Amino acid sequence: MSGVQLKAVTLTHVRYQKGDQLGHFLAWVSLIPVFISLGGFSSHFLFRRELQVMFFALGLLISQFINELIKKSVQQARPETCVLLEMCDSHGWPSSHSQYMFFFAVYFSLMTWRGIGLGSGSGSTKWVFDALNWSLAVLTMYSRVYLGYHTVAQVLAGASLGIVLGALWFWVVNTKLYCYFPLIEESALGRMFYIKDTSHIPNVLKFEYDNARAARKKFDCKDN
């Protein structure tokens, strides 16, 4: 085994300088795309099964596929700091983390202001979601530079591409693909997995609340 380089296989292989508290925080921030994918979307598929969010996730996958194609075509090296991080076995332009987060941010914001999903809340709620959303995107972009995984140009390229692709995919989904949602809902697969679309309902939270209360009235406990 002498002379053989070993490589760790792990989703949390993000390094920072020991004792650097900011680096430690940003290392966790850098993992937000993993948390969104494995936690957010996976949970949504299990418990909600909304078509709008399924296509949201599909767009992120397409975006990352495009990112890999560009990286392999351009083949721009990562910064020299990557040597210390042992993460220079892949190309750095554009940053996939930045592209992911800014795609997520722009698509989520467009959903919010179109009144889709969480967007059914009040104006102040929308601003809170947007502020958190974009703050996490900027922090993730900054973390990749601070930790030494990317140059400023690489994260800016990723952010720009993410914004463009996120806006474009939102337009495709909600102007070209949306008309096929009823067909997917009524398909055998859609019925089997309870796939649905509630983006046409102005306030999903109130709709579910009202229907839950209406159903409960049919099962009120009666005195024996």
Q: Judge whether 196 lies within some domain.
A: yes
Among 54-63, 101-110, 123-132, 190-199, the minimum mean pLDDT is found in 123-132
Model pLDDT for residues 74-117, shown as the tens digit of each residue: 989 888 877 776 666 778 899 999 999 999 999 999 988 887 75
pLDDT at residue 30 above 80?
yes
Prediction pTM value: 0.85
Q: Which residue has the higher pLDDT, 160 or 76?
A: 160
- Per the omega criterion (within 30 degrees of 0), is the bond before 94 cis? yes
Q: Report the distance separating Cα 35 and Cα 159, nearest Å.
A: 19
Over range 191-214, report the average pLDDT. 85
Instruction: Confirm if 157 and 95 have CB atoms less than 8 A apart.
Output: yes
Q: Judge whether 220 lies within some domain.
A: no
Q: Judge whether 4 lies within some domain.
A: no
- With bands split at pLDDT 50, 70 and 90, how would you rate the model's confidence at 2? very low
The residues that bridge with 196 in the sheet, in sequence order, are: 50
Residue 155 is part of which domain span?
21-211
pLDDT at 8: 40
Q: Judge whether 223 lies within some domain.
A: no
Q: Judge whether 5 lies within some domain.
A: no
Q: Judge whether 10 lies within some domain.
A: no
Q: Report the distance separating Cα 178 and Cα 108, nearest Å.
A: 17
Mean pLDDT taken over the chain: 84
| Structural domains in the chain (count) | 1
H helix runs in 30-95, sequence order: 32-34, 42-47, 51-74, 82-85
Hey, is 63 helix, strand or coil? helix
Over range 43-70, report the average pLDDT. 92
Q: Judge whether 1 lies within some domain.
A: no
Q: Which residue has the higher pLDDT, 102 or 11?
A: 102
pLDDT at 4: 44
pLDDT at residue 218 above 80?
no
